[in-house]
Amino acid sequence: MTRNAKAVALAAIGTAILLVIVVSARDLILRRHGSFDCGDGPRRTIDIRDFTTQSSAYSVELEANLAEKAKISTKLNPVQLQHLSEAVQQAQEFRKYVVAGYNSCAVTKAHYEQYGTRFQALDSLARRIDELAAKPSLAPEETASLAALVSQYWLIN
């Protein structure tokens, strides 16, 4: 290995180490000093991973069940299944918007609390949809209830 190649390799390794240190320090600083004020009172930075875990843990299971569409597809017509799949995707994107908006002062504390209530309602619907979808067979009234829950999930979303 030539002297120049060794220098370039050492510089690349040093840069990589420095980058890891900077990113780690930034995350640590944000966690410790994640307080800021947007005019509606002090806030703490919200991590999207924490928000998703706290606000919609059950929706993740519903999404997993959607991935196995065979489980739900026998109980829903294709249009309802499409609506449910789209609603789950929209909810994911909206969660990201809410957290980014809150962290950048674009979403007020009051709106953030309203959105939290909305996500809890969606989570409750997701639980009920999953309970019905988990049954091996549904009575006609349960099939109608499942369709109504999917429609309600779509409307709230």
Whether residues 90 and 149 fall in one domain: yes
Total number of domains in the chain: 2
**Averaged pLDDT, 1-24:** 81
Q: How far is CA 27 from CA 38, 47, 66, 157, in A?
A: 21, 10, 34, 32
Q: Are residues 51 and 26 in the same domain?
A: no
Q: 84 with 112, same domain?
A: yes
Domain co-membership, 114 together with 84: yes
Contact at 8 Å (CB) between 15 and 22? no
The pLDDT score that the predictor gives to residue 58 is 47
**In terms of domains, do 75 and 137 share one?**
yes
Could you list the residue range(s) of the whole structural domain that residue 117 is in?
36-156
Based on the domain organization, do 106 and 90 belong to the same domain?
A: yes
Residue 56 has pLDDT above 70, yes or no: no
What single DSSP character describes residue 136? S
